[in-house]
A and B are shown apart, each in its own frame.
Chain A
Amino acid sequence: MSKYAIPLAIFVVLVIFLAIGLGHDPHEIPSPLINKPAPAFQLAQLQDPAKKFSAAEMHGKVWLLNVWATWCLPCREEHPLLVELSRSGAVPIYGMDYKDSRDDAVSLLSEQGNPYVLCVSDSDGRVAIDYGVYGVPETYLIDRGGVIRFKQVGPLTPESIEKNILPLVKELNK
């Protein structure tokens, strides 16, 4: 019996490690920006390029920053969820159109609904680099003090909104 105890123990430990490894998405890289101030930016607004919008204007508010593009398929999947979330009024959503054509973005928003209070265009993707964006969509939850509190890599899902975003928004708005 004791002869098999050690190999069995090693095997069990190995299986546990592998099972944990399988549950991880290697594409989800933890962001070093969590609990750090959201990088400042000033970008032209998508709908009205003559006007600028800067992150500093959001001081004192809890808000979502959603990085998206019309060429990104998962963004389209996510879009109805964003529209629904914005209708619920739980949290204001601001958009950042990443390396995209302005016309395409404007027409998509007018066709499929515009969940954004306001959308800016990051046409050369520089601000996105400041935010550590490495794929679209990505969504940041920023608190009243302008600190990033949560980052969603990939499209939002009903579960992640329910489990992560809404409880955190509630807590941050207290």
Chain B
Amino acid sequence: MKRVAAALLVLGLAAVAVWTQEARPAADDPILEQRVAALSQELRCLVCQNETLADSRADLAQDLRNQIREQMKAGKSDKEIIAFLTDRYGEFILYRPPVKPATYLLWFGPFVLLIAGLVFLFRHLKARRALITVEPLTADERRRAEELLGGTSDIAATGIAERETV
């Protein structure tokens, strides 16, 4: 019985081994596959727009990855392949938008807002500081304050004591 189980297990493992081999993508050229993966990380899937071409399981993403693989095999450079894709799909396909006049607002807008905010904050704080004037208490006010504090101190103390016993 044990032997049969062992044989089955071995068979099962062999089947898994064969299966994994079949499931492996066209990894006949690992360097090429690495290039395909690296470039498709830089590209946007047009179907699921928040995913890169590398991560997307959309059919079109698969087709575009194949397209990239083929062009790489044909000896095209990354730049040429990116040009091929932007000619067809526009710069939207670039996951990292290029820095150019049309995207200045996108790239530098947040920093401009940050600086504007800091300038506003400092000016506001400065203006506010000017408004605060420290006026020392007069002798009369000080006496009254001490009287008030002294008068309530007992109640306050018993209050705390009561709470502590709970």
Contact = CB atoms under 8 A, between A and B. Distances in A.
Interface of A: 26-27, 29-33, 99, 124-126, 129-132, 134-135
Contact of B89 (A26, A124, A132): A132
Q: Interface on chain B toward A: helix, strand, loop, or mixed SS?
A: helix
Interface stretch (B59-67, B129-137, B146-154): B59-67
Given A99-B59, A125-B63, A134-B60, A33 B47 contact: no
A4 to B, nearest CB: 16
Contacts of A32: 86-91
Interface of B: 46-47, 49, 59-60, 63-64, 67, 86-92
26 contacts: A27-B49, A29-B46, A29-B90, A29-B92, A30-B90, A31-B90, A32-B86, A32-B87, A32-B88, A32-B90, A33-B88, A99-B59, A124-B63, A125-B63, A126-B67, A129-B63, A129-B64, A129-B67, A129-B88, A130-B88, A131-B88, A134-B46, A134-B60, A134-B89, A135-B46, A135-B47
Contacts, number: 41
A27 B92 CA distance: 11
